[in-house]
Chains A and B, each alone.
Chain A
Amino acid sequence: MSELLGLSVAGQLRGLAEGRFSAVELAEASLARVKAHAGLGAFLAVDEDRSLEQARAADAARAAGTAAPLAGVPIAHKDIFVTDFARTGLPSTAGSKMLAGYKSPFDATVVARLGPGEPGRGPGAGAVTIGKLNCDEFAMGSANENSAFGPVLNPWDRTRVPGGSSGGSAAAVAARLVAAATGTDTGGSIRQPAAFCGITGIKPTYGVCSRYGMIAFASSLDQAGPMARSAEDCALLLSAMAGFDERDATSAQRSAPDYAALMRTARDGASAGRPLQGLRIGLPKEFFPAALAADVHGAVRGALAELEKLGATLVDVSLPRTELAIPVYYIIAPAEASSNLSRFDGVKFGHRAPQHGELIDL
């Protein structure tokens, strides 16, 4: 593996800034590794020429002193985000044959903000798009076995699932094909595959990232988020992804903070040895049922001990309605999915039977 791909997003940015390697070299390393590990099933589409074109533009911007915050960092998008076909040459399928052949005329807001930006809406962060990532069909699934284009395998053990629905994103990051990727989470679709593949993923608060151009599953729960190998890398991506977008009616009306800078800012009263001094972490007792697997419980307890050592205070709390979360989810999510998927009726896009008589035959 090229040592460039062992670097974090932050590490790649440092190397690019110091001129130790170019965005083109990074993109070439990533594209080669994507090809070498095609058997994972993580990627659905790449367009090498367009990716290298973006990388050359990033190098030129850096040489001119106008590099955007993520200029030249290779990333990939879950194929639930639409990508402008004319710009990227990449399809947008949501892991479904229902959308095979669809050519999106625009970029999702998250895609534009991480990449080239949009005319009249400000510059983007300049990341290079390597390709589109496999996922469960319309983001419905939790093992990435429900993609019309085949399953994704867990790179740590190919006999196991990577989780889902953002399984392609999690596998691609864990296998070092890219240092970071986008995912979406409705009922665990970033957090669960991130856990299965041993990486870091965040489902931001609803409204933080625009849903414009994100193929909808359950609109009141869907949220975009970053997936990478560290919290710092997720913070770097999230700062570029977040922020108000008037094209999403539920977008939060606040600007995106610089999450990475906030992470590096020392807390009041904190010391070098105890950087989390003053931070209180609630442990909902309902999340630790007797049925919790011993190894999971052990890993969580281990992490909590580490946080405590770093100065955090652990506080037992109760969320007494937790048991209702699943019943509520199973009303809201399928009902909204039914509404959202009814648009795929074959009128504006799709396969049309040659011998259709009435609407039902479409």
Chain B
Amino acid sequence: MSLNPTDVSRIAHLARLEISAPEAAQMLEQLNGFFGIVEQMSAVDTHGVEPLYTPLSAVQDVQLRLRDDAVTESDTREANQASAPAVEAGLFLVPRVIE
């Protein structure tokens, strides 16, 4: 897989980055170099390999942990919202999202 200059412009736009043509050319080279590294993985046959969820499973039986559906934390809404830029009636305020 390799990217072309149009891909780089599109990604830069999505990331809201303004990059010059020489920067874009350099970034294209770096990104394609990165894909080169990643493609080493496709040379490996992973057929039948069990997914490793945690390295701890090598030393002990690990199971998905569930807890009782009970309130365990106290109300810290005020403290949690103290650093927010805009709050009203205990809610975070955001600008209109849907036109």
Instruction: Please give the residue numbers on chain A whose beta carbons come within 8 Å of chain B beta carbons, in ascending order.
Output: 101-103, 105-106, 205-207, 246, 249-250, 252-254, 321, 323-324, 326-328, 330-331, 346-352, 356-362
Query: Among A207, A324, A349, which residue has its beta carbon within 8 angstroms of that of B84?
Result: A349
Interface contact B65-A356, CB-CB below 8 Å: no
Which residues does chain A contribute within 8 Å of B38, judged by CB atoms? 327, 330-331
Give chain B nearest CB distance to A105 CB in angstroms: 4
Kindly state the separation between the CA atoms of A284 and B37 in the bound complex, as whole angstroms: 22
10 tightest CB-CB pairs across the interface, nearest first? Answer: A105-B79, A352-B85, A349-B83, A327-B40, A327-B41, A327-B37, A359-B97, A327-B38, A207-B56, A102-B83
Which residues does chain B contribute within 8 Å of A323, judged by CB atoms? 40
Q: A206-B55, A324-B41 are in contact. List 20 more A-B contacts (CB 8 A).
A: A101-B83, A105-B79, A105-B82, A106-B76, A205-B56, A207-B54, A207-B55, A246-B65, A324-B44, A326-B37, A328-B41, A330-B37, A330-B38, A331-B38, A347-B92, A349-B85, A351-B85, A356-B95, A358-B95, A359-B94
Kindly state the separation between the CA atoms of A99 and B95 in the bound complex, as whole angstroms: 21
Interface contact B82-A253, CB-CB below 8 Å: no
Main secondary structure of the interface of B (DSSP, over half): loop
B47 at the interface (CB under 8 A from A): no
Give chain B nearest CB distance to A179 CB in angstroms: 30
Give chain A nearest CB distance to B62 CB in angstroms: 8
Which residues does chain B contribute within 8 Å of A328, judged by CB atoms? 41
Which residues does chain A contribute within 8 Å of B96, judged by CB atoms? 358-359
Give chain B nearest CB distance to A129 CB in angstroms: 20
Interface contact A324-B40, CB-CB below 8 Å: yes
B89 at the interface (CB under 8 A from A): no
B80 at the interface (CB under 8 A from A): yes
Kindly state the separation between the CA atoms of A346 and B67 in the bound complex, as whole angstroms: 32
Closest to A249 in B: B65
Which residues does chain B contribute within 8 Å of A103, judged by CB atoms? 82-83
Kindly state the separation between the CA atoms of A352 and B80 in the bound complex, as whole angstroms: 18
